[in-house]
């Protein structure tokens, strides 16, 4: 069967001082039905821009899809009218964010906000919507759901608010849920519970999930497939098992070393030296990771690596692998 979502050569730009700079540069990937795909990278790598592109929630007048296609169930949704996109959003594709407090309205009850989503997309009575919202809250593990439904967001803990957001996001049984750093603001125990909840919901609802995170540890917990992004491009893509057993890209190696360990205090966390290049200063040729890469070679500054298949269902874009060298630039053998 065809993939649920196909992103094809996506280019998304941001306007800065009157000029467009690409924050996502020719990214292609598929999301198959009932799969969880992790998109991982540091902040500034284009992960969130990619999800906002899919949802068409780029800041108007500033962010713009400049090329490529986004096909959802075979239809190119990157050029849908606002009206059609509004119908799709929240119903077939929905999204949850890092900080639920910013997406929940403080002045309305939890129940009112969930019911609004349902009534927006479905022709049912308020009473039916209320019953559904109580059962949704139960399904995301909220105790005393019939009481919580009448409470306000500030009355709940961060973990409970994220559960409410998930209930709201799945209210109309979407086929695709995009979760952007859904557990980053939560403590480790609650984080594990939310990931488990997402996995459970994915299975019972037969959904696909795109999980965006800076933490490869989160990917290991629940994802089937993983896409490592760096500076607006895909650095590596593989199944989770393959990636963890045979990481190829030096950036992936560094992300692995940066996975938080349960028994380490925050100060001791490994971080990666240097910064992701800003979109206005992106190197035009060569590898975008070269200035931070412990394995960089002179060619990395002049030859642009391409995503190449290094194993079955495993692609990487790094000149350490012949498969990543563009045609006409193949490496010369040492001493030749």
**For ligand SF4, the closer CB: 160 or 231:** 231
Only segment of 48-56, 74-82, 269-277, 282-290 that touches Mg ion (CB under 5 A): 48-56
177, β-bridge pairs: 94, 209
**For ligand SF4, the closer CB: 114 or 290:** 290
**For ligand SF4, the closer CB: 174 or 250:** 250
Q: Under the criterion CB under 5 A, does residue 139 sit at the interface with Mg ion?
A: no
Using DSSP's 3-state secondary structure scheme, residue 149 falls into coil
Q: Under the criterion CB under 6 A, does residue 131 sit at the interface with ligand SF4?
A: no
194, β-bridge pairs: none
Q: For residue 238, how many C-alpha atoms fall within 13 Å in the half-sphere facing its CB?
A: 24
β-sheet with 19-31: strand ranges across: 19-31, 5-16, 63-72, 75-76
Contacted entry of ligand SF4, Mg ion, none for residue 293, CB cut-off 5 to 8 Å set by kind = ligand SF4
CB of 308 to Mg ion, least distance (A): 27
Q: Looking at beta carbons, which pairs linking 271-280 to residues 24 or more positions away fall under 8 Å?
A: 272/42, 275/44, 276/42, 276/43, 276/44, 276/45, 276/230, 276/231, 277/231, 278/44, 279/14, 279/16, 279/21, 279/22, 279/23, 279/232, 280/16, 280/21
Q: Under the criterion CB under 6 A, does residue 254 sit at the interface with ligand SF4?
A: no
Six-digit token string for 113: 């906000």
Only segment of 12-20, 32-40, 277-285, 291-299 that touches ligand SF4 (CB under 6 A): 291-299
**For Mg ion, the closer CB: 23 or 118:** 23
Looking only at residues 268 through 327 of this chain, which bind Mg ion when binding is defined by CB under 5 A? Answer: none
Q: Which of 233, 236, 305, 315 binds ligand SF4 (CB under 6 A)?
A: 305
Using the 8-state DSSP alphabet, how is residue 281 labeled? Answer: G
Q: How far apart are CA 77 and CA 6, in angstroms?
A: 10
Q: Which of 11, 48, 113, 324 binds Mg ion (CB under 5 A)?
A: 48
In the complex, which residue's CB is closest to Mg ion?
48
Contacted entry of Mg ion, ligand SF4, none for residue 305, CB cut-off 5 to 8 Å set by kind = ligand SF4
Sign of the CA dihedral with 67 first, then 71, 76, and 82 last: negative
How buried is 88 (Cβ within 10 angstroms: 0-12 exposed, 13-18 middle, 19+ buried)? buried
Only segment of 43-51, 170-178, 191-199, 263-271 that touches Mg ion (CB under 5 A): 43-51
Q: Under the criterion CB under 6 A, does residue 295 sit at the interface with ligand SF4?
A: yes
Strands 314-316 and 93-96: unpaired
Q: Under the criterion CB under 5 A, does residue 51 sit at the interface with Mg ion?
A: no
Q: CB–CB of 47/41 below 8 Å? A: yes
Only segment of 31-39, 257-265, 290-298, 307-315 that touches ligand SF4 (CB under 6 A): 290-298
**For Mg ion, the closer CB: 23 or 198:** 23
Contacted entry of ligand SF4, Mg ion, none for residue 48, CB cut-off 5 to 8 Å set by kind = Mg ion
Size of the site for ligand SF4 (CB under 6 A): 14
**For ligand SF4, the closer CB: 153 or 305:** 305
- Binding positions for ligand SF4, rule: CB under 6 A: 249-250, 287, 289-290, 293, 295-297, 300, 305, 318-320
């Amino acid at each position: 069967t065809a993939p649920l979502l196909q992103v094809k050569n996506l280019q998304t730009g941001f306007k800065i001082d009157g000029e467009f700079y690409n924050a996502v540069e020719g990214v292609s990937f598929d999301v198959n039905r009932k799969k969880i795909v992790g998109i991982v990278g540091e902040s500034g790598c284009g992960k969130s821009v990619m999800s906002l592109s899919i949802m068409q929630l780029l800041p108007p007048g500033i962010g713009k899809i400049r090329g490529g296609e986004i096909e959802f169930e075979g239809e190119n949704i990157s050029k849908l009218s606002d009206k059609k996109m509004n119908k799709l959003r929240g119903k077939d594709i929905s999204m949850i964010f890092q900080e639920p407090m910013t997406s929940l309205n403080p002045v309305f009850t939890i129940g009112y906000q969930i019911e609004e989503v349902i009534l927006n997309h479905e022709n049912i009575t308020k009473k039916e919507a209320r019953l559904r919202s109580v059962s949704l809250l139960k399904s995301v593990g909220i105790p005393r759901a019939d009481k919580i439904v009448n409470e306000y967001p500030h009355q709940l803990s961060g973990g409970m608010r994220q559960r409410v957001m998930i209930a709201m996001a799945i209210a109309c049984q979407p086929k695709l849920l995009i979760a952007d750093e859904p557990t980053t603001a939560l403590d480790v125990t609650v984080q594990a519970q939310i990931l488990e909840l997402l996995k459970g919901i994915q299975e019972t609802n037969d959904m696909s999930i795109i999980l965006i995170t800076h933490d490869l540890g989160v990917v290991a917990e629940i994802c089937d497939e993983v896409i490592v992004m760096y500076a607006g491009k895909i650095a590596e893509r593989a199944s989770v098992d393959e990636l963890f057993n045979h990481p190829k890209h030096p950036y992936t190696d560094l992300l692995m070393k940066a996975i938080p360990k349960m028994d380490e205090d925050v100060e001791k966390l490994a971080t990666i030296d240097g910064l992701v290049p800003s979109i206005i200063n992106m190197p035009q040729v060569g590898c975008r990771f070269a200035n931070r890469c412990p394995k960089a070679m002179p060619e990395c500054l002049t030859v642009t690596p391409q995503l190449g298949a290094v194993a079955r269902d495993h692609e990487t874009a790094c000149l350490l692998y012949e498969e990543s060298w563009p045609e006409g630039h193949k490496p010369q053998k040492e001493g030749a």
